[in-house]
Amino acid sequence: MRRKIESLTQKRQELEKEFQQRLQKLKKTVSSISPSEAYANLNQQLSSLLETSSSSKKIFKKKQSRKDFSLLALLKNLVQAQEKIHEQNEKIIAALSQIDDLFLRFQNLVDAKDQEWDALSSNHVGLIFKSLEWRVEKLAVETQDAKLLVKKLYFLRDKLDALIQELSAHESKSLSTTTSHQILNSLKDAAYVSFENRFRGDEAQVKEELSRYQDFFERGKVVDLGCGRGEFLEILQEKGIEAEGIDLNQEMVEYCREKSLTCHQDDLLAWLVNQPDESLAGIFSSQVIEHLPPSYLRQLIQQAYFKLAPGGKIILETINPTSVFALVQIYFLDFSHSQPIHPL
pLDDT digits (tens, 9 = 90+) for 242-288: 999 999 888 889 989 999 999 999 999 999 999 999 999 999 998 88
The whole-angstrom separation of Cα 78 and Cα 329 is: 88
The whole-angstrom separation of Cα 335 and Cα 341 is: 15
pLDDT(194) > 60: no
pTM: 0.46
Report the CATH superfamily, name and number, of domain 201-333: Vaccinia Virus protein VP39 (3.40.50.150)
Least-confidence region, from 42-46, 75-79, 237-241: 42-46
Higher-scoring residue by pLDDT: 63, 12 = 12
Closest CA to 108 of 176, 12, 35: 12
| Backbone dihedral angles phi then psi of residue 295, each to the nearest 5 degrees | -65, -40
Q: CA 223, 224, 230, 235 torsion: positive or negative?
A: negative
The whole-angstrom separation of Cα 143 and Cα 138 is: 9
- Where are the chain's structural domains? 2-126, 134-197, 201-333
The whole-angstrom separation of Cα 222 and Cα 253 is: 17
pLDDT digits (tens, 9 = 90+) for 216-229: 998 899 999 999 88
pLDDT digits (tens, 9 = 90+) for 24-45: 876 777 676 665 665 565 566 5
What is the 3-state secondary structure of 145-214? HHHHHHHHHHHHHHHHHHHHHHHHHHCCCCCCHHHHHHHHHHHHHHHHHHHHHHHCCCHHHHHHHHHHHH
Residue 313's contacts (CB-CB under 8 Å, 6 or more residues apart) are 216, 217, 281, 282, 283
* pLDDT of the residue at 318: 84
Q: Is 226 left (phi over 0), alpha (psi -120 to 50) or beta?
A: left
pLDDT digits (tens, 9 = 90+) for 97-155: 777 777 787 778 788 778 777 777 776 666 666 666 666 666 676 677 667 766 666 66
The whole-angstrom separation of Cα 108 and Cα 98 is: 15
Round the average pLDDT of the chain to a whole number and report it: 74
* pLDDT of the residue at 60: 45
The whole-angstrom separation of Cα 144 and Cα 44 is: 98
